[in-house]
Amino acid sequence: MKKMTFGQAVGIKLESKGAQLRRECPLAQLMDSETDMVRQIRALDSDMQTLVYENYNKFISATDTIRKMKNDFRKMEDEMDRLATNMAVITDFSARISATLQDRHERITKLAGVHALLRKLQFLFELPSRLTKCVELGAYGQAVRYQGRARAVLQQYQHLPSFRAIQDDCQVITARLAQQLRQRFREGGSGAPEQAECVELLLALGEPAEELCEEFLAHARGRLEEELRSLEAELGPSPPAPDVLEFTDRGGNGFVSGLCQVAATYQELFSAQGPAGAEKLAAFTRELGSRYFALVERRLAQEQGGSDNSLLVRALDRFHRRLRAPGTLLAAAGLAEAATEIVERVAYERLGHHLQSLRAAFLGCLTDVRQALAAPRLAGKEGPGLAELLANVASSILSHIKASLAAVHLFTAKEVSFSNKPYFRGEFCSQGVREGLIVGFIRSMCQTAQSFCDSPGEKGGATPPALLLLLSRLCLDYETATISYILTLTDEQFLVQDQSPVTPVSTLCAEARETARRLLTHYVKVQGLVISQMLRKSVETRDWLSTLEPRNVRAVMKRVVEDTTAIDVQVGLLYEEGVRKAQSSDSSKRTFSVYSSSRQQGRYAPSYTPSAPMDTNLLSNIQKLFSERIDVFSPVEFNKVSVLTGIIKISLKTLLECVRLRTFGRFGLQQVQVDCHFLQLYLWRFVADEELVHLLLDEVVASAALRCPDPVPMEPSVVEVICERG
C-alpha cells in the first residue's frame, strides 16, 4: 500500500470538509467562508515572504560556507594522502638503520657502562683532594655531599687496601670538617639560617643528635633572650615607651618570629628524636613564652588608663595573630591558649575601666548640677531650670554609655582574630558588657543616688534639695523608658550566645523606681525640715505670755508661704500636677472650722479654775478620738500634689508639737489664731485634701488654747481683716 504524504492528507481532509460545507451550509455562509479563507491565505503568503526576506542573507552565507567546506575537505584529503606516503618512507628508513646499528649498539652500551665505572673510581681517588679543597674554600655543604655520595661504597670495599687508604684520608678530613663546623656553630656570629645549616651538616656527618639538640636550643635561647631584654628595656622609666601597637609589632617581628623559626628548624632537624625531642622543644617554648607574655602584660597594663580602645584592640589583634603560628607548630606548649587568656583578661579589665569612667562621668554630671544650682545664688541671677539640667544630665549619661558600648564593641568586630573565640561570643557579651558594664553602672548610679538619702546633718548635709528632686526624676525616667532602651541597644549590638542568667529589665526598673521613691521621700523630709526649723525657732524664741495684741501676721508665716510656693514651682518643673479632692468654694474664707476648738475653749473659759484642767483635757482627748488620724510620713507619690502635701504635713505637725510645749497668754493665743488663719488662706491650695490643712491648724489653735490660762479668742472678722491686710 502506497504511503500518503502530509500534504495529501491535508488536501483530502480539506476536500471532505468543503463537501460537508456545500451540503450543510447556505450560499451566504459559503461566501463568508471563502472570504475568510482568502484572507488567511494572503496572511500566510505575507508571513512567508517576510521570513524569506529576513533570512535571505543567512541563506546566502550558509551556501557560501558549505561551498568553502567542500573545497577545504578536498585539499585536506590530498595532504593526508601525501602524509601517509611520507610516513611509510620514514618507517622503512628507520627499520634499515636499526638493522645496520644493532651490533654497534651493544658495544656502545658496554663502553658507556665502563666509562661510568671509571668516572666513579676517578671520583673516589680524587675524593680526599676534593674534600680538602672544599674545606679550604669553606664549601662545607659540598664537602658533606661528596662524603655522603662515597660513604656507602667505601664502607662496602674497605677490605681492599686502595679503598681503605682513601677511607682513612676521608675520615681525617671529615673530622677536621666537623671540628670547623662545631667551632662555627658555637661562635654564634652567623645568623640563625647559617647555624641551622651547621647543625644539618653535622647531623649528616653522623655527629650525636642529642648533643646537637642541646647546643641548638642553647644558642636559640641566647638569641631570643636578647630580644626579650630589648623589649624589657623599652618598658624602663628612662626612655619613653613606644605605643602599644609598636611594642607588639616589635615583639612579633623579633621574638615571636624568632621563636617560630627556631621551632620550625628544630622540628625539621630533630624530627627523629621522637616524643622526647618534642617535649624538650615544648618546655623551651613555654619558658621563653611565659617571659614574653609577662612583658606584654606589663605593657598592656600601662594602657588601662587610656580612653581609646581602637589602638589597644589593634595591638591585641596583632599579638593574637602572631602567636597562632607557633601555637600551630607547638600545640603542646599552649602559646595560643595563653595568648587568648591574656586578651580575655585585658578585655575584662577594660570593661572595669569603662565602668569606672561611667561612674566618674555620672559624678561629674552631679558636680556640674551642684555648681549650676549654687552659681545663680552666689551671683544673684537666674540660673538654668531644673528641666534643662535634667535633660543635660540624661543626655550626657546616655552619650557616655553609647561611647562605652562602641568602645568595647571593638573587641567583637568580625575583622578581629579573637572575636570568634567562645568567650567573646558568650560570656564577654552577657556577663561582661550587659551585666558587668551596663547593669553594674545602672545599679551604681542608683546606689550613688541613694547615698544622698543617708547624708548626715540637721538639714540633710550639703546636698541641695533640688539635686534630690532632679535625681528622683532621673531615676523615674530610667524606670519608665531609659533602662529598657539601653538594654535593648546592648542586646542588639552584642548578640549574646551565652545561656547564663542575666538580670531582667523588670528587676532593674523596680530598683530604679525604689531609688526614685527614696529620693523623693528624702526631698520631702529635707524641705519639710527646713520649714519646720523656721516654725520651731519662731515659736521657741517668742515670749507668748507677754506678747502684745496682734496687729499683723508674723513675718515667719509669710516666709513659710513664700518657701512653699517656691517648692511648688520647683517640683512642678519635673513632676505632673497630680489628683486633688474636690475643693469647697469657700476654702480660703473658712474661719469657723479652723477655730472651732478654740471657740469651744472660750465657751468653757469660766470653768478654767485649778480644779478644771482634767475636764478640758478630757474633752480635747475625746474630740481627737473622733477626728481622722493624720499619717505625717505617709508614702510619697510621683506627683507635685503628693510632694507638697508631705512637706506641709511635716511643717504643720512640727508647729503643733512646738505649740504644745509653750504657755500662751491671751494675746499669744490670738496671734496663733491670726497666723493659722493666714496659713489656711494659702496652704490649702497646695495639698491633695484641704481638710488636712484645716484639721492640723485646728489642732494647733486647740493646743494653744489648752496651754492658755485666759483663752479668749479673737473675733473671726478681726482675724480676717488682719490677714487680708498682711
Among 18-32, 96-110, 618-632, the minimum mean pLDDT is found in 618-632
Find all residues with CB under 8 Å of 469, minimum gap 6, and list them: 386, 519, 520, 523, 570, 571, 574
Asked if residue 259 and residue 179 are part of one domain, the reply reads: yes
In this predicted structure, the answer to whether residue 324 has a pLDDT above a threshold of 60 is: yes
Task: Read off the pLDDT of each residue in 452-459 and give the average, rounded to a whole number.
Answer: 61
What pLDDT, on the 0 to 100 scale, is given for residue 14? 64
102 shares its domain with 173: no
Cβ proximity of 256 and 322 under 8 Å: yes
Q: pLDDT of 546-573, one tens digit each? A: 888 888 889 999 999 999 999 999 999 9
pTM, full prediction: 0.68
Rounded-to-integer distance, Cα 496 and Cα 502, Å: 11
Do 185 and 322 lie in a common domain?
A: yes
Q: In terms of Cα–Cα distance, which of 210, 215, 152, 218 is closest to 181?
A: 215
Q: Is residue 313 part of a domain?
A: yes
End-to-end Cα, the chain, rounded Å: 140
- Could you give the CA distance from residue 679 to residue 553 in angstroms, rounded to a whole number? 10
Return d(Cα 452, Cα 445) in angstroms, integer.
11
Handedness of CA 573, 575, 576, 579 (dihedral sign): negative
- 572 and 498 in a common domain: no
In a domain, 144, yes or no: no
- The 10 Å Cβ neighbour count of residue 185 is 21
Residue 316 has pLDDT above 70, yes or no: yes
**If you ran DSSP here, which 8-state letter would residue 414 be given?**
T
* Cα distances (Å, whole numbers) of residue 102 to 93, 95, 111, 690: 14, 11, 15, 139
Last-in-domain residue among 486, 503, 527: 527
Tell me, what's the pLDDT at 362?
93
Is 582 contained in some domain? no
Q: Nearest CA to 355 among 405, 412, 413?
A: 405
Q: Above 60 in pLDDT, residue 711? A: yes
* Measured distance CA(637)–CA(644) in Å, rounded: 10
Residue 159 in grid coordinates: 677490605
Q: Would you place residue 471 in the very low, low, confident or very high pLDDT band (cuts 50, 70, 90)?
A: very high
Report which of 482, 521, 529, 532 is spatially closest to residue 642, judged by C-alpha positions: 521
Residue 585 lies in a domain: no
Max Cα-Cα span within the chain: 172
Position 595 scores a pLDDT of 41
Residues 694 and 562 placed together within one structural domain of the fold = yes
Q: In this structure, what C-alpha cell is assigned to residue 266?
A: 628544630
Tens of pLDDT, residue by residue over 139-163, are: 666 666 666 566 656 666 666 676 6
What's 611-633 look like in SS3? Answer: CCHHHHHHHHHHHHHHCCCCCCC
Q: Do 415 and 319 belong together in one domain? A: no
The string of DSSP codes covering 347-367 is HHHHHHHHHHHHHHHHHHHHH
Q: Which three cell numbers stand for residue 213?
A: 639538640
Can you give the C-alpha Rg of the chain in angstroms? 55
Confidence bin at 628 (pLDDT 50/70/90)? low
Number of H helices, E strands in the chain: 28, 0
Residue 422 lies in a domain: yes
Same-domain status, 246 and 303: yes
**Which of residues 9 and 652 earns the better pLDDT score?**
652
Question: DSSP characters for 637-657?
Answer: PSSHHHHHHHHHHHHHHHHHH
Choose among 179, 170, 116, 182: nearest CA to 143. Answer: 170
* Residue that the C-alpha cell 488663719 belongs to: 677
Q: Are 288 and 224 in contact (CB under 8 A)?
A: yes
For 171-183, the pLDDT digits (tens) are 666 666 666 666 6
Question: Of how many residues is the chain composed?
Answer: 726
Residue 56 scores a pLDDT above 70: yes
Q: Is residue 632 part of a domain?
A: yes
Contact assessment for residue 595 and residue 673, using Cβ atoms and an 8 Å cutoff: yes
Compute CA distances 650 → 422, 531, 554, 643, whole Å: 58, 9, 20, 11
Question: Tell me, what's the pLDDT at 400?
Answer: 93
Are 205 and 174 a contacting pair, CB within 8 Å?
yes
Last residue of a domain, one of 109, 139, 169: 139
Nearby residues of 584 by Cβ (< 8 Å), 6 or more positions away: 590, 690
Over range 393-398, report the average pLDDT.
94
* DSSP 8-state code for residue 583: P
Asked if residue 702 and residue 566 are part of one domain, the reply reads yes
Pair 395, 304 in one domain: no
Locus of grid cell 548610679? 445
The stretches of 464-612 forming alpha helices (DSSP H) are 465-477, 483-493, 505-540, 555-572, 592-603
Q: Are 347 and 317 in contact, with CB atoms under 8 Å apart?
A: no
In a domain, 508, yes or no: yes
pLDDT the model gives residue 155: 62
Q: Please tell me the total count of domains within the chain.
A: 4
**How far is Cα 80 from Cα 86, in angstroms, rounded to an integer?**
10
Give yes or no: residues 255 and 185 share one domain: yes
Which amino acid is residue 275, in one-letter code? Answer: P
Q: Are 510 and 425 in contact (CB under 8 A)?
A: no
- Same domain? For 276 and 252 the reply is yes
Of 466, 492, 527, which closes a domain?
527
Ordered DSSP codes for 29-59: HHHHHHHHHHHHHHHHHHHHHHHHHHTHHHH
Query: Is 472 domain-assigned?
Result: yes
- CA dist., res. 474 & res. 394, Å (int): 7
- Sorting pLDDT into bands at 50, 70 and 90, what band is 607? very low
The verdict on 669 and 569 lying in the same domain is: yes
Cα–Cα distance between 54 and 48 in angstroms, integer?
Answer: 10
- What are the tens digits of pLDDT across the range 115-142? 676 666 666 666 666 666 666 666 666 6
Q: Which domain holds residue 394?
A: 350-373+385-527
